[in-house]
Structure formats: C-alpha cells, structure tokens
C-alpha cells in the first residue's frame, strides 16, 4: 500500500478539508463554550480531549445550566454512544495483528468524519492514513474552539451558514460512491434519510435526544438489512495492510 | 460553583472509553455473517441518518440545505473528491442565501 510517508500524506490530503470543516464547526461551538463560562484554554482542552461536536455541545449546555457531574457523564455517554458502534466497525477494518498502541491512538480521534474516510480506505486500514488526517483535524478542532471563545462573533452569519454544510458534503462523498455500486446500500441510504426525517419531525418523538435517535435508527436499519440482505463473506479483511 | 476542569475531565474520560473499548476488545475477525453484515452497513446508515434532515437545519433557510444535499449527492455519485463535494455544498448555500 505504498510507503508510510505516502500513506501519511494521503491521509493529510483527505484530512485537510475535514480540518477546515472542523475549524468552522468548532468556532461556532466556541460560542456555546463561552456561554457556559469556559475560558478559551479550557474550551480548547475540552475539544482536544473530546473531539465530538454533539457531545461537547451537550456538555456546554449542561454546564451552562449548572448540571451535576454525573449528569455530564451520562449525557456524554448518550451523545457519543454511536462511536461505540463505529469503534466495533473499525475493529473489523483493522488487520487482527494491529498492535494495541495503534488501537489506543486510533480511538482517540474516532469521529464521524475520520471514521468515514478510514472505512473508505481500500483493504485493511493502515493506521498511518488516519494519523495523517488526525494531524490536521485535531489542531483545526482545538484552534477553532479556542478562537470561537476568544474572538467571538466575527464571521458574518451568511458565511457561517454556508460553511456549516461542509461536513454534510463530506458525509455524502463517503456514502454515495458505495451506494452507486451496491443497490442495497443505495436503498439503505434513502431509507435512512426518510426514517431520520420522520424521527426528527414526529411530535411524539420530540422528547428524545438526537443522539439517541441516531443510535436507535442506526441499529434498527442496519440490523434489519443484515437479516434481509446478509452480505457474502468477503476476503477483504484477510489482506494485511 | 462547580469546577470546569472536573467537567472537562469527566467528559473526556467517558468519550475515550466509548471509543477505545470495542477497538481494544475486538481483536479478531468476526465470523458471524449477520454481525459482519450489520457492521458493514452501520457506517453508511449512520452517516445517512446524521446528514438528513440535519443539513436543512444547519443553514439559515432549509431550502438552501436541501439544494446543497442534492448538489452534493449528484457530485459524490459522479465520484468527485471529498473536498470538491464539501466545497460545492458550501458554495450552493452561500449563493442561494446571497440571492434570496
């Protein structure tokens, strides 16, 4: 799969747009942190250690409301529970021989976007590909939060609105190519859109947090698909990276 | 008054434990066909669930988000790069909201 340097650079190339998107999202997240009484450094540390937009947003709103410590623990668990599934999926993308420290390091920045590009990596995942992306994504995320608190509202709203869809564009770039090749994936994408729309708009579900909805829908749809359309056992994972 | 550093420590610990536990515990290939299929579908389903309708709630006007979704989906379908798809989505929203 090429030399380590090539793989790192490839990860950095794919990580660059993610880092830009992170910077913007983190910047807006900084407003919430400021509301909760975080200093720029505290907000940056929170971001560097958590790497989760929804999870951090939940923490900032809870802290602003003067929540108990255990409430923050439970909310973080709920808002980030989808990473449990992603971590399971990523474990199957690694060669079984992948040493422990790579697993510990990969887990640190297992975000929606980095998970997405890691899963799209051909064959077994070379951790250095993800490290290349992390090297840009982590500073982008931390710096964005720092400046969001420190500088506050300097970007025009119009620009923030436009930049905020960048992350969704990345999601689309990850899900559409496999959907084009595999009709089952295409149907799942459309079904997920429809059910997610329903879940977010149905009045009787309005008391459930978006994080919980994401987990429930992911489990129900994926499990249903696994029963109805189980995949052939591929030899993809037997290739060592 | 609670200590913000303790909030940071707690959230960081919980976030990391969620992410690291499966990666460290599942050391070998899962052979169960249903479970393998499930884990294969998870990324696409979860990214789809998170994209729509959230993309419409991220922009000032929902229509701009919907247009960005269409533009992004078409470009991604045609195999355009991650960066180009992301930038195009932003450009669509910016232009749409500029002229409306």
Same domain, A200 and A111: no
Q: Is the pLDDT at A210 greater than 80, yes or no? A: no
pLDDT of B81 higher than 60: yes
- Given A164, A197, A216, the domain boundary residue is A164
Residue ranges making up the domain that contains B63: 4-27+40-98
Most B CBs within 10 A among A172, A187, A229, A238, hence the mutation to make, goes to A172
Q: How deeply is A97 buried, as exposed, middle or buried, from its count of CB atoms within 10 A (0-12, 13-18, 19+)? A: exposed
Whether residue A186 sits in one domain with residue A159: no
pLDDT reading at A214 higher than 90: no
Q: What angle do CA A126, A116, A192 make, to 5 degrees?
A: 150
Q: How confident is the model over A66-86, as a mean pLDDT?
A: 85
The band of A231, judged by pLDDT with boundaries at 50, 70 and 90, is confident
Which residue of chain A has the CA closest to B78? Answer: A177
Q: Mark which residues 100-159 of A lie under 8 Å from B by CB.
A: 100, 103-104, 106-108, 110, 112, 115-117, 119, 157-159
A238 is a domain residue? no
- A204 domain residue, yes or no: yes
**pLDDT class of A112 with cuts at 50, 70, 90:** confident
Q: How confident is the model over A5-21, as pLDDT tens digits?
A: 999 999 999 999 889 88
For the stretch A171-202, pLDDT in tens is: 898 899 999 999 999 999 999 999 999 999 99
Judge whether B9 lies within some domain.
Answer: yes
Residue A52 and residue A84 in one domain: yes
Q: What is the pTM of this model?
A: 0.76
Q: Which is it for the CA torsion A211, A213, A216, A218, positive or negative?
A: negative
Q: Please, what's the largest Cα pairwise distance for chain B?
A: 54
Q: Which of B64, B62, B74, B45 is nearest to A196 (CA)?
A: B45
Reading the block at residue A78, the tokens are 């709920």
Burial environment of residue A123 by CB neighbours within 10 A (0 to 12, 13 to 18, 19 or more)? middle
Q: Which of A80, A192, A230 sits opposite B49 (nearest CB)?
A: A192
Split into its structural domains, chain B has a count of 1
**Cβ–Cβ below 8 Å for A69 and B10:** yes
Domain residues for the domain of A120 are 4-164
Contact B82 A166 (CB under 8 A): no
**Could you tell me if A158 and A42 lie in one domain?**
yes
Task: Answer yes or no: is B34 within a domain.
Answer: no
B88 and chain A in contact, CB less than 8 A: yes
Task: Kindly state whether residue A91 falls inside one of the protein's structural domains.
Answer: yes
Predicted local distance difference test score (pLDDT) of residue A234: 52
Per-residue pLDDT at A78: 76
Q: Is A196 contained in some domain?
A: yes
Per-residue confidence (pLDDT) for residue A25, from 0 to 100: 79
Is A239's pLDDT higher than 70? no
Establish if B35 belongs to a structural domain.
no
Q: Count the Cβ atoms, other than its own, within 10 Å of residue A100.
A: 10
Do A66 and A112 sit in the same domain of this protein?
yes
Q: Given this model, what pLDDT does residue A200 score?
A: 92
Predicted pLDDT of residue B58? 83
- A107 versus A151: the higher-pLDDT residue is A107
Residue A175 falls within a domain, yes or no? no
Q: What percent of chain A has pLDDT over 70?
A: 94
Calculate the average pLDDT of chain A.
88
Task: Find the CB nearest B45 among A162, A222, A231.
Answer: A222
Say yes or no: A33 and A88 in one domain.
Answer: yes
pLDDT at A236: 45
Residue A174 included in any domain: no
Reference B48, options A43, A23, A172, A71; nearest CA is A172
Q: Which residues contact B71 (CB under 8 A, 6 or more apart)?
A: B88, B89, B92
Provide the domain count of chain A.
Answer: 2
Residue A86: CB partners within 8 Å, gap ≥ 6? A110, A112, A115, B19, B42, B43, B46
**Assigned domain for B32 exists:** no
Does A68 reside within a domain? Answer: yes
A201 and A109 belong to one structural domain: no
Does residue B54 fall inside a structural domain?
yes
B82 lies in a domain? yes
Same domain? For A154 and A223 the reply is: no
Report how far Cα A87 is from the mean position of its chain's Cα atoms.
11
pLDDT for A102 beyond 80? yes
- What's the rounded Cα separation, in Å, for the pair A177 and A174? 7
Do residues A97 and A40 both lie within one domain?
A: yes
Same domain for A135 and A210, yes or no, is no
- Sign of the alpha-carbon torsion through B19, A136, B76, B62: positive
Strands (E) in chain B, as ranges, are none
Say whether pLDDT at A168 is over 90.
no
Q: From B50, which residue of chain A is nearest by alpha-carbon distance? A: A214
Distances (CA, A) of A188 to A231, B4, B42: 14, 42, 10
Asked if B24 reaches chain A (Cβ–Cβ under 8 Å), the answer is yes
pLDDT at site B76: 96
Give the count of alpha carbons within 13 A of B69, CB side only. Answer: 19
ipTM confidence score: 0.87
């Amino acid at each position: 799969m090429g030399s380590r340097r090539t793989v790192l650079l490839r990860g950095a190339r794919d990580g660059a747009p993610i880092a830009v998107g992170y910077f913007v999202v983190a910047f807006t997240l900084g407003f919430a942190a400021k509301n909760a009484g975080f200093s720029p450094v505290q907000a940056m540390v929170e971001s560097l250690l958590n790497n989760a937009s929804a999870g951090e947003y939940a923490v900032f709103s809870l802290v602003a409301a003067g929540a108990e410590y255990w409430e923050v623990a439970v909310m973080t668990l709920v808002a980030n529970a989808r990473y449990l599934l992603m971590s399971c999926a990523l474990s199957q993308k690694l060669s079984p021989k992948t040493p422990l420290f790579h697993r510990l390091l990969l887990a640190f920045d297992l975000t929606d976007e980095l998970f997405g590009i890691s899963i799209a990596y051909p064959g077994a995942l070379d951790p250095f590909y993800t490290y290349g992306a992390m090297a840009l994504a982590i500073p982008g995320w931390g710096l964005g939060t720092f400046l969001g608190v420190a500088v506050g509202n300097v970007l025009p709203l119009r620009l923030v609105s436009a930049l905020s869809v960048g992350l969704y564009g990345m999601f689309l770039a990850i899900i559409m190519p496999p959907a084009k090749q595999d009709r089952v994936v295409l149907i799942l994408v459309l079904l997920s859109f429809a059910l997610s729309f329903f879940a977010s708009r149905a009045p009787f579900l309005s008391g459930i947090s978006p994080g919980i909805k994401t987990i429930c829908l992911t489990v129900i749809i994926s499990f249903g698909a696994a029963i109805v359309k189980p995949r052939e056992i591929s030899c993809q994972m037997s290739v060592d990276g | 008054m609670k200590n913000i550093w303790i909030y940071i420590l707690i959230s960081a610990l919980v976030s990391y434990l969620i992410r690291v536990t499966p990666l460290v515990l599942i050391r070998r290939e899962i052979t169960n066909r249903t479970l393998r299929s499930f884990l294969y579908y998870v990324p696409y389903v979860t990214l789809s669930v998170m994209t729509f309708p959230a993309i419409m709630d991220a922009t000032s006007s929902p229509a701009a988000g919907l247009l960005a979704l269409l533009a992004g989906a078409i470009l991604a379908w045609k195999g355009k790069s991650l960066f180009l798809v992301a930038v195009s989505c932003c450009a669509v929203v910016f232009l749409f909201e500029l002229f409306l």
